[in-house]
Structure 1
Amino acid sequence: MPETQRTVAVLTALPLEHEAVLAHLTDVGKLTHPRYGTRARRGRLPGSPWQVALVDMGEGTLAAAALTERVLSWLEPEAVLFVGVAGGLKDDIEIGDVVVATKVYAIHGGKQTPDGFLGRPEAWHASHRLEQAAREALRGRAHFKPVAVGDVVLADGASELATRIRTSYNDAVAMEMEGSGVAHAAHLAGEAGALIIRGISDKADADKSRADAGGSQPRAAANAAAAAVAVLRELAPRQRPPQEADEADLDSAPPESPVRGPSHGGDHLDFRGSTFNGPFTAKSVGHRPDGGAGR
Structure 2
Amino acid sequence: MSVPETQPTALVLTALPLEYDAVRAYVEKRRERVHRDGTRVEIGQLPSTTWHIAIAELGVGAGRAAALTTLLISWLNPEAVFFVGVAGSLKDDVGIGDVVIGTQVYEIHGGKQTPEGFQARPKAHSASHALVQSARSAVRDMADVRAHFMPIATGDVVLADAESEIAGYLRENYNDAGAIEMEGSGAAHAAHLNGQLDALVIRGISDRADAGKRDADAAGSQELAAKQAAAVTFAVLRKHRPRQGSSASSDPEEGPQRRGDGGATYGGDHIDFRGGTFYGPVTGKTDGRR
TM-score (norm: length of structure 1) = 0.81
Q: Does 1:24 align with 2:26?
A: yes
Tell me the distance in 2 between the aligned counterparts of 1:101 and 1:138.
Answer: 14
Q: Where does residue 246 of structure 1 map in the other structure?
A: 263
Q: Does 1:48 align with 2:49?
A: yes
1:103–1:124: 8 Å Cα contact kept in structure 2? yes
In structure 1, the gaps of 5 or more residues are 253-295
Equivalent pairs, count: 249
Cα distance per residue 1:102-122 (max 9 Å; x no partner): 011100011112211110110
Q: Where does residue 187 of structure 1 map in the other structure?
A: 192
Relative to structure 1, the CA distance from residue 3 to residue 37 in structure 2 (aligned partners, 3 Å threshold; closer, same or farther) is farther
Counterpart secondary structure, 1:103: strand
Tell me the distance in 2 between the aligned counterparts of 1:78 and 1:62.
Answer: 22
Tell me the distance in 1 between the aligned counterparts of 2:25 and 2:104.
Answer: 28
Q: Where does residue 258 of structure 1 map in the other structure?
A: none
Greater Cα radius of gyration, structure 1 or 2: 2
- Matched to 1:17, the amino acid is E
Q: Does 1:149 align with 2:154?
A: yes
204, 219, 231: which is aligned to 2:209?
204
In structure 2, the gaps of 5 or more residues are 247-258, 269-290
- Matched to 1:87, the amino acid is G
Q: Where does residue 162 of structure 1 map in the other structure?
A: 167
Cα distance per residue 1:92-143 (max 9 Å; x no partner): 0010000100011100011112211110110010011111111111138411
After TM superposition, what 4+ stretches of structure 1 lie above 3 angstroms from structure 2? 244-248
TM-score (norm: length of structure 2) = 0.83
Q: Does 1:98 align with 2:94?
A: no
Cα distance per residue 1:252-294 (max 9 Å; x no partner): 7xxxxxxxxxxxxxxxxxxxxxxxxxxxxxxxxxxxxxxxxxx
1:49–1:233: 8 Å Cα contact kept in structure 2? no
Cα distance per residue 1:168-190 (max 9 Å; x no partner): 00100100000010111100001
Single out whichever of 135-144 and 19-28 deviates more from structure 2: 135-144
Cα distance per residue 1:223-272 (max 9 Å; x no partner): 00000010000111101286359344x547xxxxxxxxxxxxxxxxxxxx
Tell me the distance in 2 between the aligned counterparts of 1:211 and 1:244.
Answer: 55
Tell me the distance in 1 between the aligned counterparts of 2:222 and 2:262.
Answer: 41
- Matched to 2:166, the amino acid is L
Tell me the distance in 2 between the aligned counterparts of 1:194 and 1:71.
Answer: 14
220, 224, 247: which is aligned to 2:225?
220
Counterpart secondary structure, 2:170: helix
Tell me the distance in 1 between the aligned counterparts of 2:152 and 2:126.
Answer: 10
- Matched to 1:4, the amino acid is T
Q: Where does residue 292 of structure 1 map in the other structure?
A: none
Tell me the distance in 1 between the aligned counterparts of 2:52 and 2:262.
Answer: 17
Counterpart secondary structure, 1:138: helix
Q: How does 1:66-145 map to 2 (within 5 A)?
A: 66-139=67-140, 141-145=146-150
Relative to structure 1, the CA distance from residue 213 to residue 245 in structure 2 (aligned partners, 3 Å threshold; closer, same or farther) is farther
- Matched to 1:178, the amino acid is E
Tell me the distance in 2 between the aligned counterparts of 1:152 and 1:244.
Answer: 48
4, 17, 22: which is aligned to 1:15?
17
1:17–1:85: 8 Å Cα contact kept in structure 2? yes
Tell me the distance in 2 between the aligned counterparts of 1:244 and 1:37.
Answer: 35
1:110–1:120: 8 Å Cα contact kept in structure 2? yes
1:104–1:148: 8 Å Cα contact kept in structure 2? yes
1:49–1:236: 8 Å Cα contact kept in structure 2? no
Tell me the distance in 1 between the aligned counterparts of 2:262 and 2:232.
Answer: 30
Relative to structure 1, the CA distance from residue 245 to residue 154 in structure 2 (aligned partners, 3 Å threshold; closer, same or farther) is farther
- Matched to 1:236, the amino acid is R
1:130–1:193: 8 Å Cα contact kept in structure 2? yes
Tell me the distance in 1 between the aligned counterparts of 2:237 and 2:97.
Answer: 20
Q: Where does residue 60 of structure 2 map in the other structure?
A: 59
Cα RMSD after superposing both structures: 1.6
Tell me the distance in 2 between the aligned counterparts of 1:45 and 1:240.
Answer: 19
- Matched to 1:51, the amino acid is H
Give the superposition deviation at 1:78: 0.7
Counterpart secondary structure, 2:97: coil
